Amino acid sequence: MSELSKLATELIIKYEGFNPKAVWDYGAWRIGYGSGTITLNNGTYRTTKQGDTTTKDNAFKDLQRRIVEFEKKLINQVGEQYWNKLSDPVKAPLISMAYNYGGFIPSLTQTIEAIKTGNNKIIASTILKETKDHNKSKPENIRRALYERRKKEADLINQAPQSNNKGKFNVLLALPLLLIGVYLIKR
């Protein structure tokens, strides 16, 4: 399992919890770690329906498959060139967020643009700003719980090491100054 998959798995399991039986959750049956699909013993999967049951092992398999799917959705929305510049500790909370939303919803346009900056602090603050008033159709206690999850995800992004690509970019900017300095010293 990749480091990204491990980090995303830990977050989703922590936030979603485990349900061995299908439960109704705002428009769909969910099972395992909050999934709308169930992975069967033979490795195939299908949409979750009332009465379904699963094991932690099968729910884990389902989660691993879905993490890959949600990462692909994020890459399609953000752009591969921007996604690849992010560190895994930034990508994992974004995957957790997309998983919780059932996909990274297109209305998060400011968050998508913030991700493109590659700046962890901008990404985290934009998530908080843009999701503050989401889920207005849900009861207040659910809205509050979802926003608390967004706060935790944003905090993880804020605390994550800044992408290595940014450091390489700064070195490239400093190179001309270094060359000028060497030239002046040799004169």
Print pLDDT tens along the chain (187 aa): 899 999 999 999 999 999 999 999 878 999 999 999 998 888 899 999 999 999 999 999 999 999 999 999 999 999 999 999 999 999 999 999 999 988 766 678 899 999 999 999 999 999 999 888 777 788 888 889 999 999 999 999 999 999 755 444 444 444 555 555 444 555 5
DSSP classification of residue 35: B
Alpha carbons within 13 angstroms on the beta-carbon side of residue 61 total 13
CB-count exposure of residue 150 (10 Å: 0-12, 13-18, 19+): buried
Task: Output the pLDDT for position 105.
Answer: 67
Question: Can you list the domains of the chain with their CATH numbers?
Answer: 3-186 (1.10.530.40)
Contact 111, 126 (CB under 8 A): yes
Backbone angles phi, psi at 138, to 5 degrees: -95, 155
Query: How much is the pTM?
Result: 0.83
